[in-house]
Amino acid sequence: MAINVPTPPARATAAARSEWIGYAARLRSLLADVPQDTARKCASRSNSSSTSSRG
């Protein structure tokens, strides 16, 4: 499963960029610990609820 994490703004300071990159790495590691079947169930549940709420 590919995890897309937004990149920091181009004009961000070096400290802000490194903080953002650290946050992204932490997020990826947390999501990597989630079993793939659980991730799929959560994704399908959120997709079905979002489409029905637009109705």
Tens of pLDDT along 11-51? 778 888 888 888 988 988 888 887 777 666 777 766 655 55
Contact 24, 3 (CB under 8 A): no
pLDDT at 2 over 80: no
Question: Which residue in this structure is represented by tokens 């997020």?
Answer: 27
What are the phi and psi torsion angles at 36 (to 5°)? -65, -35
- The mean pLDDT of the chain is 73
Q: Are 8 and 18 in contact (CB under 8 A)?
A: no
pTM confidence score:
0.42
